[in-house]
Chain A
């Protein structure tokens, strides 16, 4: 038994190593292509600065602390908006699920508001809340709340009837039923909604920073663009790619931790 376990563990490790190798290969290829394109002279250094210069620039930003300040600010805005949208979205979703009046009132607002390009409302939000953190976070909440609400309603509506009946039979009262039975059962759906909302929060954080100027990664990038500082703008793009990637991976990790009891986690993941 031990031998089999070890072998399969070894095979898994080998496969994982192979996956990592393949993954790094294509990224290395992309970077080589980038540098080759610059060296060949097909594009001007202004259109695509050399990789070395961009990495240098990221290093300079990091050494001066500018990178951490800007990234921290962007992340703070995105996460603050995301957190508010998460809590309010789940609460609103539960309310819509429980109350017929709430459903009647909010359903058309949600279904009409979800596909709207809410960023168009930004000038109005600026008019009301000024140009600092408040309008940015408000805008993020407005955009990120929709997927959370719809996912929560869907999750609660999809809870297995038998589960509810047996809980009732065993004497669960309404609040217990809601918090201890239905919320965990709806959690996978809710987390999916949050996983949609997180990239939305980041997109809007960057967009609002660009539109209003000031500090933060988006503001710094737009500033670089206005000054025709192309290594600065590309450095910003690299920094944001890393930030976005880290945020998505962290969210996936949270999902796995929260759903440890769920069959989804026990199943070996496909991708």
Chain B
């Protein structure tokens, strides 16, 4: 606990500096509300339930999209490494679509599903799938031939080898890909909700910002940023636990 406090002391100092600069009038309160007022606004939002209602729909969208991306992306990547024809067919498409700035999908998806939950889920699914696929592919491809041979020698069938050898050896890079996708899902979620949405964190930020209620807007922005950070830390922990067998 003390160590964590020590480690994050600079962040605390920045927060104090923020408070002091705004209180002393060095920075206009219109440009930067004091952090204490942001906290008060945050508690108000929490008490009135706005934060929960909007947060729930945001997390639902990001979670579902990400879940689909992980399931489909991991399966696609492993099969690409396992069956050559799939690789030859799908590989070039991934190479072309990987550099596409994922935010460019937003207007096109609006033609398919409008601006509701479905459009956000689809956007996050499509945007997050490629990093997962590439991670799974690279990981599965790197599974050692010796392991595969000995598995075969011991009489493992193809499916058994896939599950017992290829999937575990793909795991480190697959999890790395999922971590990238996790960060990307937040970016896509916030962007698409800011552009057009009836609920969610992005919607709240937009409404509060255009209404000039900056302390509350800052509160929501910081909430989203903090959630992104916490999600990453939790995933990192899960990742370490799942990869413990490696050492």
Contacts and interface: CB of A to CB of B under 8 A. Distances in A.
A143 B6 CA distance: 26
Contact of B101 (A104, A121, A128, A205): A205
B104 A236 contact: yes
Given A112-B229, A234-B108, A245-B99, A120 B92 contact: no
A47 B190 CA distance: 24
A204 B214 CA distance: 23
Nearest to A198: B99
Contacts of B226: 116
Nearest to A225: B107
A115 B183 contact: yes
A203 interface: yes
B57 interface: no
A26 interface: yes
Interface residues of A, number: 57
B47 interface: no
Interface in A150-202: 199, 202
Contact of A112 (B11, B106, B218): B11
Given A127-B31, A207-B103, A210-B107, A120 B8 contact: no
A234 B107 CA distance: 9
Interface in A238-257: 240-241, 244-245, 247-248
Contacts of B202: 120
A16 interface: no
B104 A221 contact: yes
Interface residues of B, number: 56
Given A115-B232, A116-B229, A241 B191 contact: no
A84 to B, nearest CB: 19
Contact of B107 (A24, A236, A244, A248): A236
B18 to A, nearest CB: 12
A247 B224 CA distance: 30
Given A206-B104, A240-B100, A30 B93 contact: yes
Given A119-B187, A120-B224, A128-B31, A202 B96 contact: no
Interface string A114-150: 1111111111101110000000000000000000000
B244 interface: no
Interface string A56-92: 0000000000000000000000000000000000000
A46 interface: yes
A23 interface: yes
A237 interface: yes
Nearest to A115: B232
A104 B31 CA distance: 29
B1 interface: no
A150 to B, nearest CB: 13
A241 B11 contact: no
A218 interface: yes
A230 B110 CA distance: 10
Contacts of A205: 101
A210 B206 CA distance: 14
Contact of B186 (A117, A123, A224): A117
Contact of A120 (B90, B112, B190): B190
Contact of B99 (A105, A108, A119, A199): A199
Interface in B167-198: 182-183, 186-187, 189-191, 194-195
A196 to B, nearest CB: 9
| Most chain A beta-carbon contacts within 10 A, residue among B97, B225, B231 | B225
Contacts of A218: 103-104
Given A199-B101, A203-B103, A247-B99, A123 B228 contact: no
Given A22-B88, A128-B31, A221-B104, 13 more contacts: A26-B90, A27-B96, A108-B9, A117-B186, A117-B187, A123-B206, A203-B103, A224-B107, A225-B108, A225-B111, A233-B111, A240-B100, A245-B96
9 A-B pairs with least C-beta separation:
A115-B232, A225-B107, A244-B99, A117-B186, A207-B103, A123-B209, A248-B99, A116-B225, A23-B92
30 contacts: A46-B111, A108-B7, A108-B11, A109-B11, A115-B231, A116-B228, A117-B187, A120-B205, A123-B194, A123-B217, A124-B217, A203-B103, A203-B187, A207-B101, A210-B107, A210-B191, A210-B195, A218-B103, A218-B104, A221-B104, A222-B107, A222-B195, A225-B108, A233-B107, A236-B107, A237-B108, A244-B99, A245-B96, A248-B98, A248-B99
